[in-house]
Amino acid sequence: MLSNLSFSPAPELVDLYGLVLPFLIPTETTMFYFNPTAQNCSWESLQRTLPQNPQIIWHREEAYPELYKRHSSNVFAMACLERTSFEWQLKLLATSLTRFRSVRVLIEVQAKESSFLASQILQLCLQHSMLNVVLYFQPWNRTINIYNYQAFPYFTLVKQRLMGISPPRIFTNQLKDLMGYKLRVQPDLSPPNSFPYRNSQGDYRIAGFLWEIIEHFSESLGAGIQVLYPTWPKAKVAATEYMLEFTRNGSSDFGLTTTMIIFKHEERYRDYSYPMFYTSWCTMLPVEKPLSTRTLFNHVLSPGSALLLTLGSILCFLVIPHIIKYLGITCRGSIMGMAARIFALVMLCASSAQLLSLLISPPLHNRIESFDDLLASDLKIFGMRSEFYFLDGDFRAKYAAAFHLTDNPNELYDNRNYFNTSWAYTITSVKWTVIDAQQRHFAHPVFRFSEDLCFNWASPCGLLIAPESFYRDSLQQFTLRIEQAGLVNHWMTRSFYDMVKAGRMTIKDYSLTTVLSPLRIQDLRMWWSNFVVGLGTSSVVFTIELLLFYTNVFLNSL
């Protein structure tokens, strides 16, 4: 490429661009020439050597607007800075590279070479989260010295001489090994996300599935963790809104809280990492209870079945014999008697078999499949008043009667954690994973997670992160790996056992054991009622027959 130049540049300049050009080999790389003060930079005369690459030349004293919306991240930036105004020029460059902090940047400084000035500029680049920066000074003498820096574990200026024989190492991946640098992490201390406890040695520790994620992420970078403990009043301030201020102003690197990324404004997505999992805000319903023994007899012989059997008996024993006699067919009485006995035996066996099957595996009460079913039942959802007013207005107006609201979160947690089946509860799918893990130790499940009664469905969740954090891309790759390995769900489930070790939960069977007992007189109430009604009807008919007979006898004797 440099052989096509129509002038003879200095050999040092040829060496410099020979060093840079390997990064520009792909023709899809976009060249971003940033020179807000229109200085006479040495690289401007070389722009025509890259005709196959898209080029953006910026000479305005303002940031290039929405670069990340108009171009891909495959950008190589070359900036020209003045000594007297490099601070605001760097700020313009950083603003132009919004969400493109991993872009490689080559800076030419219009000043006499100075290691102190290079350190100032590169420290400012680190403050703006630009890691891939190399600078040199112009004018140069016989050799060119290039400067970059090592960000971890602390800022270190690196000065290298540009020599064609052994080209220096620049634009290295600084996040490959942070060499013990501590990531500043702010947990919400809300189980199962993260919670503090003391181990068997009495040391203060933090557990929870979000803590597992950030701990393994820091290990993958060769870093440690500095915990920033929350100081906000939990009952008055939402954890997300409080922690956002810390990540935005650079006081913390990550905020550990599970917040659904549902915002009307697109820029709010910059405050969150790539989605780690999807969570739903739904309802935790008590498992439907089996029908009572008394009710089961209604399933054996319902009124419709009784009517059908009555009609069948009349047809078989009253109508059919007359039809046979009318047709002149001779039928012995013993055959009819046998048919009656077989019919009674079949009905008795069928009823007994059906009753036994119902007693062994009794059917359940009607399943609640919608909020309308919930309104029709006696069950109500125990929830927080503050959460209820986040719901849609039409929904609140229609189904307000299905909720029992409180302002005391401890009241809700106590009822839910001790599996009080008098209520249904609002719950996220993340916390349901912990509840489900606990119910595995029950004789039978007590609650079920209803995906038909949801308030928010499958919303993405991620960690709070600084909008221009240079950890964003590494965290995204780490997130994809652990999701493919199934570790996120594994750590969620394991949070229950971590809470048991921390003494926050216990492995205890809260389900009610069904005690098998013999049938009682009360259970046979329907059968006794049918027996009394049948006996009474027979007595009335028999009495009427006697009255008719003796009335005729009495009248004939007169």
- Report CA Rg, the chain: 40
Q: What is the model's pLDDT at position 366?
A: 76
CA distance 425 to 403: 9
Averaged pLDDT score across all residues of the chain: 81
Q: Strand 447-450 and strand 277-286: pairing?
A: antiparallel
User: What's the pTM value of the predicted model, to 2 decimals?
Assistant: 0.75
142-160: average pLDDT: 87
What CATH code would you report for 182-277? Answer: 3.40.190.10
Q: Pull the structure tokens for residue 550.
A: 């003796």
What are the sequence ranges of the domains in the chain? 2-172, 182-277, 291-332+358-363
The answer to whether the beta carbons of residues 68 and 134 sit under 8 Å apart is: no
The yes-or-no verdict on residue 254 having pLDDT over 90 is yes
CA distance 234 to 191: 13
Q: What is the model's pLDDT at position 302?
A: 64
| pLDDT grade for 448, boundaries at 50, 70 and 90 | very high
411-422: average pLDDT: 88
Q: Strand 75-82 and strand 182-187: pairing?
A: unpaired
| pLDDT grade for 3, boundaries at 50, 70 and 90 | very low
Higher-pLDDT residue of 359 and 24 is 359
Q: What is the model's pLDDT at position 262?
A: 58
The yes-or-no verdict on residue 27 having pLDDT over 70 is no
How far is residue 392 from each of residues 5, 197, 426, 460, measured CA to CA in Å?
66, 38, 15, 20
533-545: average pLDDT: 84
Q: Strand 424-428 and strand 75-82: pairing?
A: unpaired
| Best-predicted range by mean pLDDT (18-22, 444-448, 535-539, 541-545) | 444-448
Q: What is the model's pLDDT at position 9?
A: 46
The yes-or-no verdict on residue 5 having pLDDT over 60 is no
23-42: average pLDDT: 76
Amino acid, single-letter form, for residue 435: I
CA distance 118 to 147: 7
What CATH code would you report for 2-172? Answer: 3.40.50
Higher-pLDDT residue of 259 and 152 is 152
The yes-or-no verdict on residue 121 having pLDDT over 60 is yes
Q: What is the model's pLDDT at position 4?
A: 42
| Best-predicted range by mean pLDDT (67-76, 305-314, 469-478) | 469-478
